[in-house]
C-alpha cells in the first residue's frame, strides 16, 4: 500500500509538473503569436502607407505630364513621340541581344529610307544550301542572335586587348619620359645659360667693333661690378656714363627695338637687375610719349596757340616738380601709395586727371632717383678699382726700386778699399721729431709717386688697350716724369724704318719724286674750278633722279688701247663725263640666313649698276650711243664699253659678270635723251628650289 501511495504521489507530481510546463508553453506561444501579429500589423500599415505615397506620386506625375501635353507645341509633341519610339526600339534591340550603342541607325533615322532596317535578316538560299531550310523562323532567329552575341563578345575582347596595349604603351612612354627628364632635367637651364652667354658675346663684339647699340652700353653698365675679380676683366675698362643719358635723342624705332631687347634680357636673366631694367623701361616709355606728343602738337596745334599752351604746361610741371622734389626713395614710395589710394577711392571733388599726371611724374622721378643712386655706387666701385690698380703698380715699382738700391749698395761696398772703420765710437744719430718724420714721409711718398717705369709703358709687346690702360693709371707726377723721360730719349720724333720691312705691294718713293708729286697736286688744286653750264647742270639733274641711299659712286675707268679715229684730224677727241653709281646690298641666301643675322650682317655684294654718260656736244644727236659687254681674263668680271660718234672717245668700265634683269619692272633702263645716255640694270637673284 505504501508503495502504491508513493507511486501515486510521484505520478501526481509528474502530472502537475507536466501540466505546469504545458501551461507555460501555452503562455509563451500565445505571447509570441501576439508579438508576431503586432509586427505583421505594423508591416501592413507601413506597406499601405508606402503604397498610398507611391500612388499619390504617380498621380501627381501623371497630372504634371498631362499638363505639359496640353501646353506643348506641335514641334515638341513630334520630338516627344520620336523619343518614345526610339526608347521602345532600344528595348526591342536589347531583348534581341543587340547592344544599343552598336547601332548607328534605326528604322526612322537612316539614310536608306528602310523602315525594317533593324529586323533580323534571314538568308534563305544559304539556309537551303546548308540544309537548314526546314528550321523554324524562331530557331533561325535564335541562332542568328547567338552568333551575333558571339561576334560582339569577340569584338569586345579585341577592343579590351587593344585598349590594354595602348595603356601599356602609354605607361612605357611615360616611364621613358620620366627617365629622360631625370637624365636631362637641366636642359632648359643650360639652354637659358647658352642664350645669355651668346647675348653677352654679341654685346662685347659690337662694342669692340665700334657699332654698339644702346642695349649694349646699358648691359655693359649694369654688368660692371658683377665680376668676381674686376681687376682682371678687360670689359670694365670704360668710362662710366649715367644710364639716363644713354637713351636720349633716339628715334621711335630705336626706342621700340630697345624695349624688345630689354624684354629679352629680363626673360634670360629672370630676377637679376630687374629694378634697373624696369626703371630704364619707365624712362623709355616717357621718351616715347614725348615724341608722340611732339608729333601730335606739330600736326594739330596752331602756332598762335602753341606758346600759350607751353606756358600752361610749364607752370603745371613746375608745380608738380615742386611737390615731389627733394624727397628720398622711401618718401616717394609712400607718396605713390597715397596717390594711388586717392585715385582708387575717387571721392567727390577729386581731380583725377591731376592726380594721375602727378602719379606719372612721380613714377618717373622714382626711376631717375634710383638710377642716380645706382650710378653713385658704380662710381664709387670704379674709383675703388682704379685705386687698387694704382696701389698694385706702386708696390711693384717700390719692389723694383728697392732691389736696384740693394744691388747698388752691394756694388759700392765691394768697391770700397782701405782699413775698416769702427763705428763703435761714433755718436748715435739724434732722434727725429714728429714734424721731421712727417716731412720725410711726404718726400718719400712724392718720390714714389714720381717713379715710373718708362720701358714697361712703351713695351712693344703690349697691345694698344693694355698700353692705354697703363698710361691712364699714372698720377699727374708720374705722367709728367714719363713725358720728360720720353722727350729726353727722343721718342717723340719718328724713327726711320728699313725698306725691307715694308708690306708687299707698297711702293716707297724718294724725296725728290715726292716733292714733284706734291707740287703737281698743288698746281692742280690752285686752278680755278670751271662752273657747270646750264646744259650740264640739267644733265646732272636728270642723272641724279632715282638715286637711292644704298648706292655708291663708281668712277673707276678702265684704260683702253690708243685708237685712231677718222674724224680726229677735224675734231679733237675727248672723253665723255659720267656720273655712275654701283648698288650694293645683302644677299640673304640660305647660307647667310644660317650664319648671320641683322645684328651681324653678311658682307655686301654688288647688286646692280647705274651708268649716266653725258654727250652734250654730240654732232649726230639722232644717233644713239651703243654698248658692248665682253668677258675679261677673270671669269667673275666683264668689260662694258660705250661707243658713240664724234667728238667723243669710247669709255669702258669693269663690272661684275652676272646675268641682268632686263624688265622695266625690275629697274632696267636703257635710253638716250637730252644728251644723257642712261643704262640702269640689276643682277638676277637666284632662289633655292628643290
CA distance 638 to 634: 8
pLDDT of residue 312 exceeding 50? no
What pLDDT, on a 0 to 100 scale, did the predictor assign at position 28?
56
Q: What is the pLDDT of residues 147-206, one digit of tens each?
A: 888 998 899 899 999 999 998 898 888 888 888 877 776 777 778 778 878 888 888 888
Q: What is the pLDDT of residues 29-83, one digit of tens each?
A: 555 556 566 677 877 877 787 888 888 888 988 898 888 888 888 888 888 888 8
From the CB of residue 372, how many other CB atoms can be counted at a distance below 10 Å?
12
Q: What's the pLDDT band for 642 if we cut at 50, 70, 90?
A: very high
218-232, 391-405, 642-656: the lowest-pLDDT one: 218-232
Domain ranges of the chain: 2-55, 189-372, 532-683
- C-alpha dihedral sign at 95, 98, 102, 107: negative
At 587, is the secondary structure helix, strand, or coil? coil
CA distance 647 to 574: 6
What pLDDT, on a 0 to 100 scale, did the predictor assign at position 193?
79
Confirm if 574 and 648 have CB atoms less than 8 A apart.
yes
pTM: 0.34
Q: What is the pLDDT of residues 431-486, one digit of tens each?
A: 545 555 555 545 544 544 456 677 777 777 777 777 777 777 777 777 888 888 77
CA 35 to chain centre: 90
Mean pLDDT within 501-508: 66
Q: What is the pLDDT of residues 225-245, one digit of tens each?
A: 665 444 445 556 677 778 888
What pLDDT, on a 0 to 100 scale, did the predictor assign at position 318?
46
What pLDDT, on a 0 to 100 scale, did the predictor assign at position 690?
52
Instruction: Give the DSSP H or E segment for 656.
Output: strand 651-656
Mean pLDDT for all residues in the chain:
74
Confirm if 631 and 654 have CB atoms less than 8 A apart.
no
What pLDDT, on a 0 to 100 scale, did the predictor assign at position 538?
63
Cell triple for residue 46?
507601413
Amino acid at each position: 500500500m505504501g508503495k502504491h501511495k508513493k507511486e501515486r504521489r510521484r505520478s501526481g507530481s509528474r502530472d502537475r509538473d507536466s501540466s505546469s510546463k504545458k501551461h507555460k508553453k501555452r503562455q509563451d506561444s500565445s505571447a509570441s503569436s501576439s508579438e508576431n501579429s503586432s509586427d505583421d500589423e505594423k508591416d501592413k500599415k507601413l506597406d499601405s502607407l508606402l503604397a498610398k505615397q507611391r500612388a499619390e506620386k504617380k498621380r501627381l506625375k501623371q497630372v504634371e505630364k498631362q499638363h505639359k501635353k496640353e501646353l506643348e507645341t506641335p514641334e515638341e509633341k513630334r520630338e516627344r513621340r520620336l523619343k518614345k519610339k526610339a526608347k521602345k526600339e532600344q528595348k526591342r534591340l536589347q531583348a534581341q541581344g543587340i547592344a544599343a550603342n552598336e547601332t548607328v541607325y534605326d528604322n526612322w533615322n537612316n539614310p536608306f529610307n528602310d523602315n525594317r532596317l533593324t529586323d533580323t535578316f534571314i538568308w534563305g538560299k544559304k539556309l537551303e544550301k546548308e540544309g537548314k531550310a526546314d528550321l523554324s523562323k524562331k530557331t533561325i532567329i535564335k541562332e542568328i542572335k547567338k552568333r551575333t552575341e558571339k561576334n560582339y563578345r569577340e569584338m569586345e575582347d579585341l577592343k579590351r586587348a587593344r585598349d590594354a596595349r595602348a595603356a601599356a604603351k602609354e605607361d612605357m612612354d611615360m616611364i621613358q619620359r620620366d627617365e629622360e627628364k631625370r637624365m636631362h632635367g637641366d636642359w632648359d637651364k643650360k639652354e637659358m645659360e647658352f642664350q645669355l652667354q651668346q647675348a653677352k658675346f654679341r654685346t662685347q663684339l659690337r662694342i669692340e667693333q665700334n657699332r654698339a647699340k644702346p642695349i649694349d652700353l646699358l648691359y655693359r653698365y649694369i654688368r660692371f661690378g658683377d665680376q668676381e675679380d674686376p681687376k682682371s676683366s678687360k670689359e670694365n675698362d670704360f668710362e662710366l656714363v649715367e644710364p639716363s643719358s644713354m637713351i636720349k635723342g633716339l628715334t621711335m624705332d630705336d626706342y621700340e627695338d630697345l624695349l624688345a631687347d630689354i624684354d629679352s634680357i629680363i626673360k634670360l636673366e629672370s630676377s637679376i637687375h630687374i629694378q634697373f631694367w624696369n626703371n630704364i623701361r619707365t624712362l623709355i616709355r616717357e621718351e616715347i610719349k614725348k615724341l608722340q606728343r611732339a608729333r601730335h602738337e606739330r600736326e594739330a596745334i596752331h602756332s598762335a596757340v602753341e606758346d600759350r599752351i607751353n606756358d600752361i604746361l610749364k607752370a603745371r610741371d613746375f608745380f608738380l616738380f615742386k611737390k615731389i622734389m627733394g624727397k628720398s626713395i622711401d618718401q616717394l614710395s609712400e607718396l605713390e601709395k597715397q596717390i594711388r589710394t586717392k585715385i582708387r577711392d575717387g571721392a567727390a571733388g577729386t581731380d583725377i586727371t591731376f592726380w594721375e599726371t602727378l602719379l606719372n611724374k612721380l613714377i618717373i622721378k622714382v626711376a631717375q632717383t634710383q638710377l642716380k643712386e645706382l650710378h653713385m655706387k658704380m662710381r664709387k666701385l670704379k674709383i675703388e678699382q682704379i685705386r687698387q690698380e694704382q696701389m698694385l703698380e706702386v708696390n711693384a715699382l717700390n719692389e723694383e726700386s728697392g732691389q736696384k738700391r740693394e744691388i747698388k749698395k752691394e756694388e759700392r761696398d765691394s768697391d770700397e778699399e782701405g782699413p775698416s772703420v769702427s763705428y763703435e765710437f761714433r755718436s748715435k744719430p739724434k732722434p727725429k721729431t714728429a714734424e721731421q718724420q712727417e716731412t720725410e714721409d711726404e718726400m718719400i711718398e712724392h718720390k714714389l709717386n714720381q717713379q715710373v717705369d718708362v720701358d714697361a709703358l712703351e713695351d712693344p709687346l703690349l697691345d694698344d688697350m693694355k698700353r692705354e690702360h697703363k698710361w691712364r693709371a699714372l698720377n699727374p707726377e708720374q705722367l709728367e716724369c714719363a713725358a720728360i723721360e720720353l722727350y729726353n730719349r727722343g721718342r717723340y720724333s719718328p724713327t726711320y724704318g728699313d725698306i725691307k720691312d715694308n708690306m708687299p705691294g707698297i711702293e716707297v718713293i724718294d724725296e725728290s719724286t715726292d716733292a714733284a708729286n706734291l707740287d703737281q697736286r698743288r698746281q692742280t688744286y690752285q686752278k680755278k674750278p670751271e662752273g657747270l653750264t646750264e646744259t650740264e647742270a640739267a644733265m646732272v639733274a636728270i642723272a641724279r633722279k632715282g638715286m637711292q641711299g644704298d648706292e655708291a659712286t663708281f668712277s673707276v675707268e678702265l684704260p683702253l688701247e690708243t685708237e685712231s679715229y677718222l674724224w680726229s684730224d677735224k675734231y679733237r677727241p675727248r672723253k665723255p663725263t659720267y656720273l655712275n653709281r654701283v648698288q650694293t646690298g645683302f644677299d640673304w641666301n640660305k647660307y647667310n640666313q644660317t650664319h648671320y643675322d641683322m645684328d651681324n650682317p653678311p658682307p655686301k655684294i654688288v647688286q646692280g649698276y647705274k651708268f649716266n654718260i653725258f654727250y652734250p656736244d654730240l654732232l649726230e644727236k639722232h644717233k644713239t650711243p651703243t654698248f658692248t659687254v665682253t668677258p675679261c681674263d677673270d671669269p667673275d668680271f666683264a668689260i662694258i664699253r660705250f661707243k658713240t660718234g664724234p667728238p667723243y672717245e669710247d669709255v669702258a668700265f669693269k663690272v661684275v659678270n652676272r646675268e641682268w634683269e632686263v624688265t622695266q619692272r625690275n629697274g632696267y633702263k636703257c635710253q638716250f635723251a637730252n644728251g644723257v645716255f642712261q643704262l640702269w640694270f640689276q643682277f638676277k637673284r637666284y632662289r633655292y628650289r628643290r
